Structure 1
Amino acid sequence: MLATLRFILVILAGILLGLVSAWWAVGNLRFEGSRTIGQWSLQNDGAKANPYEAVRAARRGGGGLGPSEGIELTTEVSADGKPLAAACAYLVAGPMPQGVLWTLTVSDRDGRLPGNPARRVGFTSLDAMTFGPARQIRISIGRDVRPGDFVATTGLSSLRLTLRLYSPTLATRAPGPEQLPTVTSLGCEEGEAS
């Protein structure tokens, strides 16, 4: 009887340890399949085949784009390499690849979207204002309302930006950093991390 009870406890401990380690790995480890383009991280096909990366994408509300659809880029750091904070304000500014449909979504690291009165969680190539002959974007992100294109980070504890570029040609030849917008800090609230 005692041997059976020990056996059951060992099995239960193994199952619990396996579940906890898988949950931790999905939330905390970065796998070899990703590469960076400036401050943006791009998942290549090897990473899409990784089951941990598939679960990570599902947890943040995405399924990734297939090779015939385009690419998905994410960032959790500003242009100066500091982690993005929901209490701070940022400007996403610069070019987008020409002739490409795109979406920019604001969320936290777990994929939760901001709960703001405007119900705006991002912008697309169809509704964002563009400037100059290169059709550059200027989107402000933060807690305090700013003029122009703006997304409030109300209710978020962390911050992640997801940029999806829809074009089959980008899946074979990703854009360079000069073709993507940068995320620069506009400052933080008193007492918050910058």
Structure 2
Amino acid sequence: MGLIFRLLVGLVVALSVGFGASYYALTDGRLFAAVRVGSWAAWPDVGQPIPNPYSRAYLARTGHLQLGYAEGLQFRAYTDDSGDPLDARCQYLVAGKVPGASFWTLVATDPDGANIAASPELPALHSERVARWGDGGLNATIGTEMGPGNWLEIEGTGPFTLALTLYDAVVFSGANTTIEAMPAIEKVSCQ
């Protein structure tokens, strides 16, 4: 009787781990082969002609259109630098150097990917229309209340994501596979 019980427990554990890993790979398989710098994560393998099997399964399931490897790279942040999830009721300061790119955009989206910018005239911050620090770094306030430097006004409540998309990026082109710096995300206040 003990042998059958141990066999059934082993079978249940094996099936749970197998199906759990498969579910995870199909719902967010991009997390395999992620490149992380602070709060930011990018998946350079997603834009390749033949991505890894987990990224391929994720793309097939979601149908998201991805940038090609030579076109650009998107970094996403779900948390601030202290590890707390980004919350639309809070103010954040995004400051620091952005990796080299011909053009970049910074967008705030809800968990479903919809833009949560309050103004249709300013749905994102982009490299051609931002004031920079003396060293060329970004200084932006993200939130419902105006702050110093650039301001991306957002609306709503609950979790959100910041997406920093680098177009024609120097990062991961050719032999350059290091990221020197990414902007820090600091929570300033919450309502």
> 1:62-115 CA distances to partner (integer Å, 9 max, x unpaired)?
x22211112111011101111111111101100112453111111112111125
Displacement after TM superposition at 1:119 (Å): 3.8
Which blocks of at least 5 consecutive residues in structure 1 are unaligned? Answer: 1-20, 190-194
Paired residues of 1:70 and 1:171 also in contact (CA < 8 A): no
1:42 — aligned with what?
Answer: 42
Paired residues of 1:108 and 1:156 also in contact (CA < 8 A): no
TM-score (norm 2): 0.72
Could you say if the C-alpha distance between residues 56 and 90 of structure 1 is closer, same or farther in structure 2, counting changes exceeding 3 Å? farther
1:109 — aligned with what?
Answer: 111
Distance of 1:115 and 1:68 partners within structure 2:
28
Distance of 1:88 and 1:155 partners within structure 2:
11
Of stretches 28-37 and 97-106 in structure 1, the one that deviates more from structure 2 is 28-37
> 1:3-39 CA distances to partner (integer Å, 9 max, x unpaired)?
xxxxxxxxxxxxxxxxxx979953x666313231221
Distance of 2:74 and 2:97 partners within structure 1:
16
Distance of 2:89 and 2:26 partners within structure 1:
27
1:123 paired to 2:129: no
Could you say if the C-alpha distance between residues 101 and 155 of structure 1 is closer, same or farther in structure 2, counting changes exceeding 3 Å? same
TM-score (norm 1): 0.71
2:11 — aligned with what?
Answer: none
Distance of 1:171 and 1:57 partners within structure 2:
24
Could you say if the C-alpha distance between residues 54 and 43 of structure 1 is closer, same or farther in structure 2, counting changes exceeding 3 Å? farther
Count of residue pairs the alignment pairs up: 162
CA RMSD of aligned residues (A): 2.8
Paired residues of 2:30 and 2:58 also in contact (CA < 8 A): no
Q: Give 3-state SS (helix, strand or coil) of 1:73's partner.
A: strand
Paired residues of 1:102 and 1:166 also in contact (CA < 8 A): yes
2:3 — aligned with what?
Answer: none
Could you say if the C-alpha distance between residues 56 and 43 of structure 1 is closer, same or farther in structure 2, counting changes exceeding 3 Å? farther
Paired residues of 1:107 and 1:121 also in contact (CA < 8 A): no
Could you say if the C-alpha distance between residues 69 and 54 of structure 1 is closer, same or farther in structure 2, counting changes exceeding 3 Å? farther
1:64 paired to 2:66: yes
Displacement after TM superposition at 1:179 (Å): 2.1
1:51 to 51, 57, 65: 57
Distance of 2:110 and 2:154 partners within structure 1:
9
Could you say if the C-alpha distance between residues 40 and 23 of structure 1 is closer, same or farther in structure 2, counting changes exceeding 3 Å? closer
Which blocks of at least 5 consecutive residues in structure 2 are unaligned? Answer: 1-21, 46-50
Identity fraction in percent: 26
